[in-house]
Structure 1
Amino acid sequence: MDTWKVFLVFFGIILVLFAVFLFFPGINKNSPEKPGYLYLNNKTMICNYYYLCFLRNGSWHRPSYNAGVNLILANNLEVKNETQIKQFFEQERINIIMNTTEKASPENSELILKVSPFSHYLGYYYKTIKKQNKTIEANLLSRYNWTEPAIIIFGPNLGAKEDSISFDGKNIIVQGQTPSGLSLVLGKLLLIIVS
């Protein structure tokens, strides 16, 4: 075979490979592109709708428990003051205050069940992912002394006027009129923290 034909074949192969790499970018095998997955940043993503996955040592890790809410839906909620809310979590002590009734009631149980996944993920994120020893303490609104900043949670039939997250300069106020609304706003708060 003539030298110019070999060169032409070699040049053609290089051109085809270049076109393949140009038009078909690489796919990260660690992050499947499928419904229910959404990147929040380069080290955190929503996976399988209900979980947060964290990139550690080059691979994605998922806690064994879910967030109790569809995080893709929670991500779409609009919240004002996200930057200030995120800065709230820079303190060493995080108080989670729940507005409950004085007597045992189904509303109290439901509120605690909705707050549990949020507080578990919060502890996991700071201890395992961020390697920070934060004190996360839960208490009742009736026992709260109002001197320290806190996340104050109003649940269904327990004072919630809307489904929202707000920041008053000192406290984060979380309200959920329904169990699903409360889960959604707690999911959004979790996403603000980890993103």
Structure 2
Amino acid sequence: MICGVDEAGRGPWAGPVTAGAVILDPDQPIDGLTDSKRLSEAHREAIYPEIRAKAVTFGIGWASPGEVDRLNIRQATFLAMSRAIAIMGLTPKELIIDGNCLPQNLPCPARAIIKGDLTEPAISAASILAKVARDRAMAELCARYPGYGFSQHKGYGTAAHSSALETLGPCACHRKSFAPIARALRAA
């Protein structure tokens, strides 16, 4: 009953920060688990339903761009993690969380593991769930806010995203507390 936890989307200028929490079933191993950033999009999409089907339980939690702006990205990430853990419906024996710090008020003992998404299968699975869920959310935002290219760059600070900001200005899913978006708002 060890639960891996990881996030996706701390750095982008737009969209939510997303966290996954996963308790893997030792009797149903999943091949190919590693840090989601090391996998192709096609591989992540292929392994995503397997993780969901074979896990004892899982949760995906979100913190909105507004929460990122209000709380800061670190606290919003912790909020998304807490939400992912709560959604699982089970209290694990222990949480193992990718990174070097832990949210407060967790429901059980926890350890932070630097680069845990490379060494701990449960954290790798959480990383994949969070990344795929967030990428899908960004594709939905791309349809809602055409012209920004969210389905291509996922809200990260690319040349194409900067160009869209210059042309269109920020939209409702941008993180207004992030410097490039704050500058674009002042220029508008």
The structure with the greater share of residues assigned to strand is 1
TM over 0.5: no
Which structure has more RCO (C-alpha within 8 Å, separation ≥ 6)?
2
TM-score range, shorter chain: under 0.3
TM-score by length of 2: 0.26
Q: Which has the higher helix share?
A: 2
